[in-house]
Structure 1
Amino acid sequence: MAETGILQELTGKLLDAARRAGADQADAVAVRGQAVSVDVRQGRLEQAERADGVEIGLRVLIGGRQACVSASDHSDRVISEIASRAVAMAREAPVDDTLGLAEPGDLATRIDSADLELVSEAPAPSPEELRDIALRAEAAAVAVEGISQIESASAGHSRREMWLQASNGFSAGYARSGQSISTVAIAGEGLGMERDWAGESRVFGADLPSPEEIGALAARRTVERLGARKPPTGTFPIFYDQRVSSSLIGHLLGATNGAAIARGASWLRNDLGEQVLPDSFTLREEPHLKRMSSSRYFDGEGLATSARTLVDAGSLTGWTLDLASARKLGMRSTANAMRGASAPPSPGVTNIALNAGEATPEELIRQMGRGLIVTSMLGASINATTGDYSRGAAGFWVENGEIAFAVNECTIAGNLREMLMRLTAANDLPEWRQMTVPGLLVEGMTVAGA
């Protein structure tokens, strides 16, 4: 039997067991995952890992109560135990009248994902082939002058199959594949040591940059960081390089998540229809893009996905909703339910794109005059209710519109509502990203350095 057929059979058994145990409604997920990763160091194999397994999950609903149980054993005995345990747990759960499956008439009818090209049918690379890819990336990094060592060079391949079935009649699944290459390089010695990295992943290995490109990019980024020091303290413009600019839009998306809105735990909770970005910006979700790892025709509750505009000419047009959050807010689901085996559905986004600006990153950096380019961040203190923002950052200091020196050990701070209204976008939209966001210039943020 084909792998998805096995998963469909397992979800059917879970639903049958849930009915026998006394559930009013139920949905079940079965996931098969396979992954191989290889790390090399100093021209030799450092580590190789392989994971292969099936996980099953069951959600039951009884009179406005729900519970979820998952397991990695899918024997008939365990399936029966899962159902009994889930029903017992649900009967002790608090009542929430917004819980429930989709109405049968609302379910997606387009469920065959073949034309989205989510899985490569080419033979998976062998561990030996992955090792060769990693070695080529490492060699390219080592060849760059100034590199003292390679912390790691890695290559990996994965394949995942999923099936979702529910008592309302929905039954569908899909497969996804992925291949990745990454390199972490080190330059300098002792207290002057710096590191940086580069990595890419694609559904199809043929769409990846070459290992040599990945290794050389990691090395160049690392060498550019030599001599890093603290920047001055004050209020300056900050340019978020495209490596990190998506994090700003990620905070906006988090604040428009229906679960947060329903709890009142969002700094945008009162801003539906209000301006949240400059009027030159549009933010779109495109769940049907080909060869993108998060594309899908149906969401985690079986509803049909579609393209939508989240921010139109700077104005917030709607929330990101699953069924429960939509019912709490008196709205309709936007078909954004995400679902795993071990937890109930929750709202989430797929392929997000912010429109590009007209200026190049270099032109915006010259325009900023004196300020900070951020290329990496660590740690975060984000107040979800007020939007207050503080993060550790590293990058480059700019004087007279040109890079003066590399920066480390600084903190940047502001308020997300104000920051997002002072954005200027560069024209460097990246490719093959789940969040396609160009470099972003933010005027007037606090930098705490020397």
Structure 2
Amino acid sequence: MTSQIDSASLLARAGELIDLAKAAGADKADAVVVRSRSSSVSVRLGKVEGTESSESDDFSLRVFVGNKVASVSANPGFDLKVLAERAVAMAKVSPEDPFACLADEKDLARDYPDLDLFDPTEVSADTMRDVALEMEQAALDVAGVTNSSGSGASAGMGGMVLVTSHGFSGAYMASRFGRSVSVIAGEGTKMERDYDFDSRLFAADLDDPKLIGRRAGERVVKRINPRQVDTGSNVTVVFDPRIARGFVSHIAGAINGGSVARKTSFLRDKMGQQVLKSGLNITDDPLIVRGSSSRPFDGEGVKGERLVMIEDGVLNHWFLSTSTGREIGFPTNGRGVRGGTSVTPASTNLALEPGDISPKDLIRQIGTGFYITELIGQGVNMITGEYSRGATGFWIENGELAYPVSEVTIASNLKDMFMRMTPANDIDRKFGTASPTIAIEGMTLAGR
């Protein structure tokens, strides 16, 4: 994986594309190059199953003619002049969009920090193979593990070059390294599966492969011979941090300005109101050094800042890009993300800030409840907040994890769940969405 791959030439090419678009009749324009490189090796039962490698530079040009907008994409080698003329011709026959626009010039990042997002370490296919084999063997060595679903290692990089017609020009790259393994315990109809993984910006920060493998093996062995439990209401449910991160993503989705504009969020009318239990805070920070989802500027050239999205349970901000903000009457807060030829808002380094109680003490205080390690299905309605998903995990008795449980459905409404959350203090901020263990009171559990 080579270092910051010739960003200067890509910036020059994007700038030339902007000039050609204006010459063809565009009033405003921006050009983006999304660069990616990746390689991976997968193994199963001691043998290599696959080796993959890919790279791409995807160019996108967005042009504005009055309130009309059009976007086109191309791969390297295209004719710049033809692409620019095609984009302008498309814009001229497009319907007017009163909200589509470039970021306001005053919002553009005139300087931006080095967030230390790129590790130039080269990881060979042989090294990735050896790491994957070591992880798998460590998992298989755990007593009770009977088979492997596979193990893998990966290395890659991605980045963005952005040039606009009103003066922004910038580029950044970020690397990514990963390791994962999935194994099986039990036999026949009583087989259980679980996994473990790690993903980091810098290769040296990755967990040791033997540790990842051992964790995967230990997790799956604990799931052998699960029981069913009785149906009940008013059950306290505890989300393992791995599951809690997904739950926090529901909060992010509900306060996304795009969902508010489309009226597909159950929190769309709650700005300035309490939406989480008092004392809870949700933060979002794009400028964390070596942060998993950090970026020096967003997809429109706007530099974001740390925001307390929800403070003491009260909703302070939506995630906003410029056009989405205009649609619902707010300025951008630098959360625009390029997706192909469009810009949509999204979170960066998002965190449910931790509480002051350990997971062990939290479970002890609960006494009886359900500790969830896996959720199944997609039963979440973001318009109404209705929540119903299959779950597996462990039953809590006398304040301790007693035995594995499966074939359970949990149900409630996200509005109520948000108001009944209690976070522990075990947050791990290496993930783009970070959350500690969460306990949620008053859920319905459907069992036998």
Q: Same fold (TM over 0.5)?
A: yes
Paired position in structure 2 for 1:308:
307
Where do 5+ consecutive residues of structure 1 fail to align?
A: none
Aligned-partner residue type, residue 98 of structure 1: F
Please report how far the alpha carbon of residue 35 of structure 1 lies from its aligned counterpart in structure 2 after TM superposition.
0.6
Paired position in structure 2 for 1:382:
380
Distance 1:146 1:407, change over 3 A: same
- Once the two structures are overlaid, the 10-residue window that deviates more, 7-16 or 427-436, is 7-16
Paired position in structure 1 for 2:249:
250
Please report how far the alpha carbon of residue 240 of structure 1 lies from its aligned counterpart in structure 2 after TM superposition.
0.6
Counterparts of 1:4-403 in structure 2 under 5 Å?
Answer: 4-71=7-74, 73-77=75-79, 79-111=80-112, 113-114=113-114, 116-121=115-120, 123-235=121-233, 236-340=235-339, 342-403=340-401
Q: Provide the C-alpha distance between the structure 2 equivalents of 1:320 and 1:53, rounded to a whole number of angstroms.
A: 29
Please report how far the alpha carbon of residue 20 of structure 1 lies from its aligned counterpart in structure 2 after TM superposition.
3.5
Q: Provide the C-alpha distance between the structure 1 equivalents of 2:356 and 2:305, rounded to a whole number of angstroms.
A: 28
Paired position in structure 2 for 1:434:
432
Q: Is the Cα–Cα contact under 8 Å of residues 352 and 435 in structure 1 kept in the other structure?
A: yes
SS at match of 1:261: helix
SS at match of 1:438: coil
How many pairs are equivalent? 444
Q: Provide the C-alpha distance between the structure 1 equivalents of 2:97 and 2:350, rounded to a whole number of angstroms.
A: 31
Aligned-partner residue type, residue 174 of structure 2: R
Deviations 1:178-235 (A, max 9, x none): 1111000111111011000000100001111100110000111111111123332122
SS at match of 2:26: coil
Please report how far the alpha carbon of residue 315 of structure 1 lies from its aligned counterpart in structure 2 after TM superposition.
0.8
Runs (4 or more) in structure 1 with deviation over 4 Å come to none
Q: Is the Cα–Cα contact under 8 Å of residues 292 and 430 in structure 2 kept in the other structure?
A: no
Q: Is the Cα–Cα contact under 8 Å of residues 24 and 61 in structure 1 kept in the other structure?
A: yes
Paired position in structure 2 for 1:418:
416
Q: Is the Cα–Cα contact under 8 Å of residues 10 and 74 in structure 1 kept in the other structure?
A: no
Q: Is the Cα–Cα contact under 8 Å of residues 292 and 431 in structure 2 kept in the other structure?
A: no
Please report how far the alpha carbon of residue 2 of structure 1 lies from its aligned counterpart in structure 2 after TM superposition.
4.9
Aligned-partner residue type, residue 359 of structure 1: I
- Once the two structures are overlaid, the 10-residue window that deviates more, 125-134 or 379-388, is 379-388
- Once the two structures are overlaid, the 10-residue window that deviates more, 89-98 or 41-50, is 89-98
Aligned-partner residue type, residue 43 of structure 1: G
Distance 1:2 1:202, change over 3 A: closer
SS at match of 1:278: coil
Aligned-partner residue type, residue 281 of structure 1: L
Q: Provide the C-alpha distance between the structure 1 equivalents of 2:390 and 2:399, rounded to a whole number of angstroms.
A: 23
Please report how far the alpha carbon of residue 380 of structure 1 lies from its aligned counterpart in structure 2 after TM superposition.
1.2
Aligned-partner residue type, residue 90 of structure 2: M
Coordinate RMSD, CA, aligned: 1.6
Aligned-partner residue type, residue 44 of structure 2: R
Q: Is the Cα–Cα contact under 8 Å of residues 172 and 296 in structure 2 kept in the other structure?
A: no
Q: Is the Cα–Cα contact under 8 Å of residues 4 and 162 in structure 1 kept in the other structure?
A: no
Distance 1:326 1:230, change over 3 A: same
Q: Provide the C-alpha distance between the structure 1 equivalents of 2:195 and 2:266, rounded to a whole number of angstroms.
A: 33
Q: Provide the C-alpha distance between the structure 2 equivalents of 1:358 and 1:332, rounded to a whole number of angstroms.
A: 35
Q: Is the Cα–Cα contact under 8 Å of residues 162 and 175 in structure 1 kept in the other structure?
A: yes
Please report how far the alpha carbon of residue 165 of structure 1 lies from its aligned counterpart in structure 2 after TM superposition.
0.8
Q: Is the Cα–Cα contact under 8 Å of residues 102 and 168 in structure 1 kept in the other structure?
A: no
SS at match of 1:243: helix
Please report how far the alpha carbon of residue 80 of structure 1 lies from its aligned counterpart in structure 2 after TM superposition.
3.7
Paired position in structure 1 for 2:6:
3
Deviations 1:263-310 (A, max 9, x none): 222111111111111221111112111112321221111112111111
Please report how far the alpha carbon of residue 90 of structure 1 lies from its aligned counterpart in structure 2 after TM superposition.
2.6
- Once the two structures are overlaid, the 10-residue window that deviates more, 82-91 or 50-59, is 82-91
Distance 1:378 1:7, change over 3 A: farther
Where do 5+ consecutive residues of structure 2 fail to align?
A: none
